[in-house]
Each structure stands twice: as C-alpha cells, then as structure tokens.
Amino acid sequence: MAVDRLERVNALLRRAIGEALFQVFNNEIELAAITVTSVEASRNLRHAKVGVSIMGHEEERGRFMRALADKSGELQAIINKSCHLKYTPRLRFVHDTSIEKGDHVLALLNSMEESGELANE
C-alpha cells in the first residue's frame, strides 16, 4: 500500500474513531477529556495503534484507557459500517503524552517570560 494512501486511511480512521466514541460511550466517561491524536495502521490494515490524550483527569487515566480497550470491539463495528475498507483493523489504544508535554513547555516559557528570564528581542 502506498505511503500517502496509508496516511489518508490513518486520517480517515482517526476521524471515524473520534466520532464513534460519542456513539459508544453514553455518559460513561467524560469524552471532552479524550482526544484521538493519531492512528497508525499497519500496511495490511489488520491492526491499528490509536494514540489518545487524556487531559485534566490524571487520576482516572487508567479507567479511561480500560474503558477504551473494553469497547474496542464496538468501536471497530461502527468503523466497519462507516468506513469502506477491505479490513477493519483491530484497535489498540495507547496513551499519548505529546499534548501534555507541549502544554508544560508553554507554561515554562510563560513563567520565564513573566519573571524576566526570557529576553524579548
């Protein structure tokens, strides 16, 4: 499978998973805290690693990740109906900390700027 096609499939799956979350989780978990940051499907479309960021609920991350893993079959069924792919990949959810790290760096820069450590040129 061509690389650009795989990138388009990853983007399609990312969007479809984000929409399917609202259908599967009816007020079970706070979906405003969950962001699907990336999807990396294998070249044969049999498996996909789904990166999710969970903001503001540090003490409940484990519960959120377990809920996502438990409902992965339902998510796959919805994706199968909405996306016309030869195979529906098996979803594996992993916690992505890139947004949190970015927020931390921005907070450090803001505090340095406020304290005068960061020189404005």
C-alpha to C-alpha distance for 114 and 91, rounded to whole angstroms: 44
Domains and CATH numbers, the chain: 3-115 (3.30.300.20)
| pTM score | 0.77
Who contacts 82 (Cβ-Cβ below 8 Å, separation ≥6)?
16, 19, 20
pLDDT digits over 86-110, tens only? Answer: 888 999 999 988 777 787 788 888 8
pLDDT digits over 66-76, tens only? Answer: 999 999 999 99
**pLDDT tier at 36 (50, 70, 90 boundaries)?**
very high
pLDDT surpassing 70 at residue 43: yes
